[in-house]
């Protein structure tokens, strides 16, 4: 949700933002609807005031005057009911259309329709050169008996898996390494709900837009009966729950910035991606993620400094794991409705012979906090909407694609990165047994 006062002052900027982001939003049409709503609101308020004024004077009126006043009030009641209904319909349309309005991206954001317009900013590390024919993570995991996709599919359908033995231990080791890294920096750890009501998916900006990617919880009363939908949804990222944590609250500026990291299971339907990146652990329905969420002052300079901080946290974990990666600026057509600035971290995946997206970092200004009602009192006592940022510090098992493939040996074993050995009981290799 955006600042409507700003929209009214410079509608062309928002129309241009919608064009650059590839959004079908009629800004002029919204402004006409906005003006109609305000006119109807004024009219309804005037009619209500007139009705109240007449009703207060009726008891002191004489008989004939009272009859005329009562007749006038009945007519006014009818007209008021009609205008209130018209106002309600207008406000419903106004509210729905408002949710479609985009934020304005930073001037530095590359303009484009698809990932081909993304711009690389920097790289770290060199992709490995193997003296043997490397295997992909599925072949490695199957041979070592640490990944079992067929049995995962048997239990939960396509894009499901089991991590087994040292595979599950490696997955947990990466999560624990990342948590320790953030906790040493005094981040606040939250273990959030993995179910959320629709208002929080809307508040965090996922609705409208991501409905087809989201699992809605349903209830079957008896076998054979239709599924009755609940109001709860499985989260695709703990960003949803963490942003809801302070919904409808007013913080003090002295509390900011709030630095939260959420560890949670995440669920995504991956609708519309059939045949695309479906091999192995890249696009799956269930995974675990450590998400960083920040609330800060409404100061773009301070927010962008925090953006560098949270992306840097993720980079430091990758560097500790010695996994080569690159950072790219995401173009306007790929960044989404609410984002002001967005970068992805792509980690090298030998089987793909390219970098694959493993992390995402976003700055949303006050887009989410306006929807969720998250404010703070500044030093002068004035209430302002906070700004929000988020970043994937690690997501597993996708990161296992890079780790297993990069750390493989000619005999099919996996060398455990030095930084993970303490979390693996000092173990140095994963081997077949």
pTM to 2 decimal places: 0.92
Residues 167 and 90 in one domain: no
| In-domain check, residue 110 | no
Residues 256 and 372 in one domain: yes
229 catalytically annotated: no
Rg of the chain taking only CA atoms, in angstroms: 27
398 catalytically annotated: yes
222 catalytically annotated: no
The domain in which residue 86 lies consists of: 4-98
Residues 121 and 87 in one domain: no
CB 241 within 8 A of CB 200: yes
Residues 41 and 128 in one domain: no
Beta strand extents in 173-311 (DSSP E only):
188-190, 195-197, 216-219, 228-234, 250-252, 258-267, 286-296
Q: Which CATH number fits the domain that encloses residue 160?
A: 3.30.930.10
CB 295 within 8 A of CB 251: yes
d(CA 359, CA 392): 5
Residues 21 and 132 in one domain: no
Residues 240 and 196 in one domain: yes
CB 388 within 8 A of CB 292: no
Buried b vs exposed e over 258-285: b needs ≥16 C-beta within 10 Å?
Answer: bbbbbbbebbbbbeeeeeeeeebbbbbb
Which residues lie across from 357 on neighbouring strands?
Answer: 346
Residues 169 and 305 in one domain: yes
Q: Please list the pLDDT of the chain residue by residue as tens digits (433 residues).
A: 899 999 999 999 999 999 999 999 999 999 999 999 999 999 999 988 887 777 777 677 777 777 777 777 788 888 899 999 999 999 999 999 999 999 999 999 999 999 999 999 999 999 999 999 999 999 999 999 999 999 999 999 999 999 999 999 999 999 999 999 999 999 999 999 999 999 999 999 999 999 999 999 977 667 777 766 667 999 999 999 999 999 999 999 999 999 999 999 999 998 776 666 778 999 999 999 999 999 999 999 999 999 999 999 999 999 999 999 999 999 999 999 999 999 999 999 999 999 999 999 999 999 999 999 999 999 999 999 999 999 999 999 999 999 999 999 999 999 999 999 999 999 999 998 7
Residues 94 and 121 in one domain: no
| In-domain check, residue 105 | no
Residues 35 and 136 in one domain: no
The residue from 283, 288, 316, 413 that is catalytic is 283
User: End of a domain among 39, 69, 98?
Assistant: 98
| In-domain check, residue 272 | yes
Task: Give how many domains the chain has, as a whole number.
Answer: 2
Sort residue 280 into left (φ over 0), alpha (ψ -120 to 50) or beta.
left
The residue from 270, 315, 334, 357 that is catalytic is 357
19 catalytically annotated: no
| In-domain check, residue 167 | yes
| In-domain check, residue 106 | no
Residues 24 and 171 in one domain: no
User: End of a domain among 67, 98, 129?
Assistant: 98
| In-domain check, residue 389 | yes
The residue from 159, 169, 259, 268 that is catalytic is 268
Residues 132 and 55 in one domain: no
Helices (H), 274-373: 300-321, 332-335, 367-372
| In-domain check, residue 330 | yes
Residues 291 and 350 in one domain: yes
The residue from 204, 264, 360, 402 that is catalytic is 360
37 catalytically annotated: no
Helices (H), 99-221: 137-143, 149-156, 166-184, 198-203
- Rounded to 10 degrees, what is the CA torsion of 43, 49, 52, 53? -120
Q: Which CATH number fits the domain that encloses residue 64?
A: 1.10.287.40
The residue from 159, 259, 371, 398 that is catalytic is 398
Helices (H), 58-148: 63-98, 137-143
Buried b vs exposed e over 11-40: b needs ≥16 C-beta within 10 Å?
Answer: eeebbbbbbbbebebebeebbebbeebeeb
| In-domain check, residue 108 | no
């Amino acid at each position: 949700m955006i600042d409507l006062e700003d929209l009214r002052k410079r509608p062309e900027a928002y129309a241009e933002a919608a064009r650059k982001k590839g959004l079908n939003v009629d800004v002029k049409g919204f402004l006409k609807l906005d003006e109609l709503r305000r006119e109807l609101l004024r009219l309804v308020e005037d009619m209500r005031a007139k009705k109240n004024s007449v009703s207060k004077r009726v008891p002191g009126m004489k008989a004939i005057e009272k009859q005329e006043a009562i007749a006038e009030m009945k007519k006014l009641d009818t007209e008021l009911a009609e205008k209130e209904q018209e106002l309600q319909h207008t406000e419903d349309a106004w509210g729905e259309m408002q949710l479609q309005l985009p934020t304005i991206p930073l001037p530095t954001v590359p303009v484009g329709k698809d990932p081909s317009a993304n711009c690389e900013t920097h790289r770290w590390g060199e992709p490995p050169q193997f003296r043997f024919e490397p295997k992909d993570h599925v072949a490695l995991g199957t041979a070592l008996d640490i990944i079992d996709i067929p049995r995962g599919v048997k239990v939960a359908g396509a894009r499901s898996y089991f991590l087994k033995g040292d595979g599950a231990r490696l997955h947990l080791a990466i999560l624990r390494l990342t948590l320790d890294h953030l906790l040493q920096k005094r981040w606040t750890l939250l273990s959030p709900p993995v179910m959320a009501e629709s208002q929080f998916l809307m508040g965090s900006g996922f609705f409208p837009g991501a409905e087809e990617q989201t699992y809605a919880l349903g209830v079957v009363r008896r076998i054979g009966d239709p599924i009755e939908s609940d109001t709860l949804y499985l989260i695709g990222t703990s960003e949803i729950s963490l942003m809801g944590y302070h919904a409808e609250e007013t913080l003090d500026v002295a509390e900011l910035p709030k630095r939260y990291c959420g560890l949670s299971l995440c669920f995504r339907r991956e609708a519309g991606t059939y045949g695309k990146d479906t091999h192995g652990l890249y696009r799956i329905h269930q995974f675990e993620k450590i998400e960083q969420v920040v609330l800060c002052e409404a100061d773009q300079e301070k927010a962008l400094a925090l953006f560098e901080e949270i992306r840097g946290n993720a980079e430091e974990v990758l560097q500790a794991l010695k996994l080569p990666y690159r950072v790219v600026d995401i173009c306007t057509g790929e960044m989404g409705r609410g984002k002001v600035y967005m970068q992805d971290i792509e980690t090298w995946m030998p089987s793909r012979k390219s970098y694959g997206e493993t992390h995402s970092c976003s700055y949303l200004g006050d887009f989410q906090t306006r929807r969720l009602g998250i404010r703070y009192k500044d030093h002068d006592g004035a209430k302002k909407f906070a700004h929000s940022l988020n970043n994937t510090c690690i997501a597993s098992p996708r990161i296992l694609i890079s780790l297993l493939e990069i750390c493989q040996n000619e005999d099919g074993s996996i060398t455990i990165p030095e930084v993970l050995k303490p979390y693996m009981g000092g173990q140095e290799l994963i081997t077949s047994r």
